[in-house]
Amino acid sequence: MNYKLVFRLLGRLLLMEAALMVPSLAVALIFREGDVMAFVYTILLTAACGAAPSLLLHPDREDLTAKDGMAVAGLSWVILSFFGALPFVFSGAIPHMADAYFEAGSGFSTTGSTILPEIESLPRGVLFWRSFTHWIGGMGVLIFTLAVLPRLSGRTSHLARAESPGPTFTKLMPKMGDTAKVLYALYIALTAIEALCLLLAGMNLYDALIHAFGTAGTGGFSNYNTSIAAFHSPLIEWIIAVFMMLFGVNFAMYHHLLHKDKDSILHNEELWVYLAIVAGATLLITVSILPQAGGFFPALRAAFFQVNAITSTTGFSTADFNVWPLFAKSILMILLCLGACAGSTAGGFKLSRVILLVKSSFRDLRHTLQPRKVAVVRMEGKPVNESTLSQVGVYLFLWLVLAVAGTILLSFETDDLVTAGTAALTCLSNVGPGLNGVGPAENFSFFSAPAKLLLSFLMLAGRLEIYPILLLFSPNVWKKN
């Protein structure tokens, strides 16, 4: 690892984080609820820690190798979560560091799991920051840095690839920086549209922004204890449900839409599979909860909202689905693992990987019947590389290993397999709530500090698609070159 270069880049990212805390400071200044100094201290500390390596270190080589790129991606999220946790600690909102780290990690990784049993009494600046971390984490802080800074280093594709979800990374523009700008422009525009819709639906500006951030990053932090149910407004529920669905779509689709590139959208298999899954699951759950929901439309609304909240890995809730029939819960848990489209802000395993796995399974089954047949797997009509297919298989394995290991380790904390299993899964998929002890009406505060750190690790691993975080444990990455 090129330590000087990696630390210099990390320093720049910390400076960026300090700058991104300024809006929260402004909110704190407006409401004056005792959290202003927490932000001032954090910003100063973060900026100082960021400026030191940028000023002191002068790397001999400027090109970022694949190894350095992975290290930057993995380390940056660990470090950003640490500094992101400081406002919680300094303001006294979340006094314990492990709790605060969990909350910040949950924010940046857009998970939305919380250790807070009581949210509404916290200072509003802190709550704003808590939701703002979703928004930063959704599209990624490295991508943001690529969009804002002219040239970090010669080779930035490693960074973008490490941070953007999905089996392959497609550039929208020839230059990495321009691609990052396009992505953030779309992201900001969609967020603004949602905030506007929520304002028109009767929310105040502060609530509208908080929930727009939570939806855009597919995070799921709300500033109300009962999440979206607190508004008692079907209109708001529909708006948020639709936007959760929109943020689960690959952002390249919006780029194609703006460029009137109909074919690219119509031929995108993942998009159609995504919409079909949402429609199918909504229908099944509507039927399943019909007896207890009090009418078809309330059932449809609750089902559509919850399906999108889980599929897009946002994790808002309008109802306690823990009391729904097992059939409905099972469907939600499958959706929780699948996740939404690659290239969106959603977490999970990603549908494009699922599609590739299904297709290659069929191909291999057919291959046993016709051993001499040469067949390629196609996606969007184009042949898929064999190496991409095997990478997807390996990814599935690693994902399962983390899920199972997480469940086993959490079993020291609880006697309920469903609680332990869904807690691990919901963190790895960046959704937020699970079932039983970690259901939508519950929270994660009962876990011990080591368990909270384990869950934070799962959340970051899920957000960065495992490799960058897992590779931090490899001595090879830390070797000086």
Interacting residues with other proteins (CB under 8 A): 63, 66, 154-158, 171, 173-178, 385
Element holding 383 (H helix, E strand): strand 382-383
228-248 burial, b if ≥16 CB within 10 A, otherwise e? bbebebeebbebbbbbbbbbb
- Closest to other proteins by CB, 156 vs 250, is 156
The nearest distance, CB 464 to other proteins, in angstroms, is 18
Q: Give the shortest CB-178-to-other proteins separation in angstroms.
A: 7
Least distance to other proteins, CB of residue 475, Å:
23
Contact status, residue 429 vs residue 348, Cβ threshold 8 Å: yes
Query: Which CB sits closer to other proteins, 150 or 371?
Result: 150
Which residue, 177 or 343, has its beta carbon nearer to other proteins? Answer: 177
Question: Smallest gap, in angstroms, from Cβ of residue 172 to other proteins?
Answer: 9
Q: Are 143 and 73 in contact (CB under 8 A)?
A: no
Alpha carbons 444 and 342: distance in angstroms, whole number: 28
Residue with smaller CB distance to other proteins, 158 or 211: 158
Please tell me the number of Cα atoms within 13 Å of 297 on its side-chain side. 4
Rounded least distance, CB 151 to other proteins, Å: 9
Instruction: List the end-to-end C-alpha distance of the chain, in Å, as a whole number.
Output: 6
Report the C-alpha gap between 209 and 132 in whole angstroms.
9
Q: In degrees to the nearest 10, what's the CA dihedral of 315, 318, 320, 324?
A: -100
| Nearest approach, Cβ of residue 333 and other proteins (Å) | 37
Between 233 and 264, name the residue whose CB sits nearer to other proteins: 264
The rounded Cα 324 to chain-centroid distance in angstroms is 26
Task: Considering the complex, state which of residue 155 and residue 230 has its C-beta at the smaller distance from other proteins.
Answer: 155
Nearer to other proteins, 388 or 436 (CB): 388
Nearest-CA neighbor of 127 among 75, 91, 159, 153? Answer: 91
DSSP string of 261-293, one letter each residue: -HHHHHT-HHHHHHHHHHHHHHHHHHHHHHHHH
Q: Which long-range contacts (CB under 8 A, 24 or more apart) does 360-365 make?
A: 360/389, 360/392, 360/393
Nearer to other proteins, 82 or 169 (CB): 169
Instruction: Supply the minimum distance, in Å, between the C-beta of residue 352 and other proteins.
Output: 18
**Of residues 42 and 250, the one with the C-beta less far from other proteins:** 250
Structure tokens at 139: 């599209």
Q: How far apart are CA 172 and CA 165, in angstroms?
A: 15
C-beta closer to other proteins: residue 68 or 194: 68
CB of 267 to other proteins, least distance (A): 12
Interhelix angle 417-428/386-410, nearest 10 degrees: 140
Q: How far is the CB of 384 from other proteins (least distance, A)?
A: 11
Least Å from the CB of residue 179 to other proteins: 9
Pairing of strands 382-383, 378-379: antiparallel
